[in-house]
């Protein structure tokens, strides 16, 4: 245990150890309700690929990974001379920070869904999109189509048409309205809509 404490207080790990102590203090204050987790990583960290998660989470992940990597580097540098330790320690610190930023970017990607604060998906989001007919035909009281949302997911929706257009399976149609009472979308062939 004494060797571990000595390594955490040796250069370069000592710099990240201090930051880690600050992070632990912050999260303890958050746990007891003294401070709130902020909303977003902001423009600077958003440009680094950390957008969509709270700034404190992105920074904490970066600091924890940096601390671990610099601690490993400190242990590997044990027994070297002072000048060599300072030069190599600086390199270890820079490498640890760069690698920590890359690892944090990977870790933040799945967390974006957890912290998504935008408006929820709505059926009205499909209006104006094209769809592919999945039933044999679409009439005024029957039909289904597959439509893709902005996030890339797809949905099978109920569709109807007002005219007698040839809407068969595999054809593309434009969703132009949503009927809230019947809970279906009005569609028209893309070619017909483009001519109007």
Residue with tokens 């044999």: 136
Do 104 and 153 share a domain, yes or no? no
pLDDT in tens, the chain (196 residues): 788 888 888 888 888 899 999 999 988 988 887 776 665 555 556 666 777 777 788 888 999 999 999 999 888 888 888 888 889 989 999 999 999 999 988 888 887 777 766 555 577 788 989 999 999 999 989 999 999 877 677 889 999 998 888 899 999 999 999 998 888 999 999 875 454 4
Do 88 and 153 share a domain, yes or no? no
Residue 139's pLDDT is what? 92
Do 154 and 65 share a domain, yes or no? no
**CATH code of the domain in which 169 resides:** 2.40.50.140
Do 101 and 23 share a domain, yes or no? yes
**C-alpha span between 83 and 95 (Å, rounded):** 18
Do 100 and 165 share a domain, yes or no? no
Do 92 and 131 share a domain, yes or no? no
Do 48 and 23 share a domain, yes or no? yes
Residue 161's pLDDT is what? 93
Residue 121's pLDDT is what? 58
**Structural domain harbouring 29:** 2-114
Domain count, the chain: 2
Do 60 and 89 share a domain, yes or no? yes
Residue 6's pLDDT is what? 83
Among 61, 89, 114, where does a domain finish?
114
The pTM of this model reads: 0.56
Among 114, 146, 168, where does a domain finish?
114
Burial zone of 190 (CB within 10 Å; 0-12 exposed, 13-18 middle, 19+ buried): middle
């Amino acid at each position: 245990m004494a060797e571990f404490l000595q390594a955490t207080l040796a250069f370069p790990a000592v710099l990240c150890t201090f930051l880690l102590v600050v992070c632990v203090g912050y999260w303890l204050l958050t746990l007891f309700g003294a401070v709130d987790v902020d909303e977003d990583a902001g423009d600077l960290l958003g440009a680094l690929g950390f957008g969509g998660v709270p700034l404190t989470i992105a920074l904490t992940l970066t600091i924890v990974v940096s601390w671990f990597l610099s601690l490993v580097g400190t242990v590997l540098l044990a027994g070297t001379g002072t000048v060599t330790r300072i030069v190599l320690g600086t390199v270890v610190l820079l490498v640890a920070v760069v690698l920590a930023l890359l690892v944090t970017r990977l870790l933040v990607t799945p967390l974006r869904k957890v912290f998504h604060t935008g408006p929820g998906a709505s059926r009205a989001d499909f209006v104006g999109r094209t769809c592919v007919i999945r039933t044999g035909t679409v009439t005024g009281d029957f039909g289904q189509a597959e439509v893709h949302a902005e996030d890339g997911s797809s949905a099978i929706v109920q569709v109807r048409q007002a005219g007698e257009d040839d809407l068969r399976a595999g054809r593309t149609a434009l969703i132009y309205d949503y009927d809230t009472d019947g809970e279906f979308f009005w569609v028209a062939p893309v070619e017909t809509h483009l001519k109007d």
